[in-house]
């Protein structure tokens, strides 16, 4: 019985010794940021018409007339039909709140359209014409680039290079080298959208990562200057220290 116990203990000891010990690898984790500034070549404009009348039919008629005039403006500027889209429609009664009863003030009809326009030089003229046609709300003005993929790839490559240079500099400061990548990922809150207080449309999931609201610095003439938009990328990477 004693010899059997000793044999079992010996086998257990040999099994424990035969398990290889894996040394923990030393790594360094860094992030790299980069941005590419681009002159926009298209603009997305979201505008709306709001009409109010105690007669529901008239409120709708007035709204339809203004919307039709706005659509006629888009045709005048040779904007393709597929680049003009009805974005929001609503109809609701408006009441004055009272202690005894709610007085009906009228019916509110709202419609908005989204226009994608590629002739930036004519954008101010387009907006002016839309306002003169009866548009009474400008919900959003968004300047974009049609070559987003190219600029995004460029920004990503620059961010990765920045992360690599940062890792090498930090490793050198402690007498190490950081050349081998153990993990890499891109992160960032890429978004674009046009919204309003009537209703909002947000594009999530990384479909677009360049945006700029109306305004900005530019040498172009006119009250609205698109300036430049920024395409950003953030890369996180881990490197093996040697």
* Cβ pair 146, 44 in contact under 8 A: no
In the block, tokens 């890792």 appear at 167
Convert the pLDDT of each residue in 192-205 to its tens digit.
333 344 444 433 33
Count of other CB atoms within 10 angstroms of residue 133: 20
* Cβ pair 41, 120 in contact under 8 A: yes
DSSP type of residue 24: P
Query: Where exactly are the structural domains of the chain?
Result: 24-39+146-191+227-242, 42-144
Convert the pLDDT of each residue in 161-180 to its tens digit.
999 999 999 999 988 998 88
Separation between Cα atoms, residue 105 and residue 121, nearest integer Å? 42
How much is the pLDDT for 102?
73
How much is the pLDDT for 61?
96
Count of other CB atoms within 10 angstroms of residue 237: 24
What pTM did the predictor assign?
0.64
Convert the pLDDT of each residue in 49-65 to its tens digit.
999 999 999 999 999 99
Separation between Cα atoms, residue 103 and residue 202, nearest integer Å? 36
Residue 19 has pLDDT above 50, yes or no: no
**Choice among 46-55, 112-121, 136-145, 184-193 with the minimum mean pLDDT:** 184-193
Separation between Cα atoms, residue 110 and residue 51, nearest integer Å? 7
Give the class (CATH, top level) of 42-144: alpha beta
* CATH no. for 24-39+146-191+227-242: 3.30.110.170
- Over residues 118-138, mean pLDDT: 93
Separation between Cα atoms, residue 191 and residue 234, nearest integer Å? 14
């Amino acid at each position: 019985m004693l010899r059997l116990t000793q044999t079992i203990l010996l086998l257990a000891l040999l099994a424990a010794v035969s398990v290889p010990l894996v040394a923990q690898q030393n790594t360094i984790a860094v992030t790299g940021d980069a941005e590419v500034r681009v002159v926009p070549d298209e603009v997305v404009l979201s505008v709306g018409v709001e009409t109010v009348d105690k007669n529901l039919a008239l409120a709708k008629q007035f709204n339809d007339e203004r919307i039709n005039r706005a659509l006629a403006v888009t045709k005048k500027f040779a904007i393709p039909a597929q680049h003009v889209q009805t974005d929001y429609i609503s109809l609701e009664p408006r009441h004055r709140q009272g202690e005894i009863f709610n007085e009906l003030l009228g019916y509110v009809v709202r419609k908005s359209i989204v226009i994608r326009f590629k002739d930036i030089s004519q954008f101010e003229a387009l907006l002016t014409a839309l306002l003169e046609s009866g548009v009474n709300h400008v919900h959003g003005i968004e300047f974009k680039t049609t070559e987003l993929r190219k600029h995004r790839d460029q920004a990503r490559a620059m961010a990765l290079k920045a992360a690599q240079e940062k890792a090498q500099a930090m490793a050198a400061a402690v007498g190490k080298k950081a050349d081998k990548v153990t993990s890499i990922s891109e992160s960032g809150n890429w978004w674009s959208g046009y919204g309003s207080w009537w209703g909002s449309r947000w594009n999530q999931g990384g479909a677009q990562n360049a945006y700029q609201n109306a305004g900005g610095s530019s040498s172009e003439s006119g009250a609205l200057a698109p300036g430049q938009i920024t395409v950003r990328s953030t890369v996180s990477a881990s490197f093996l220290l040697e």
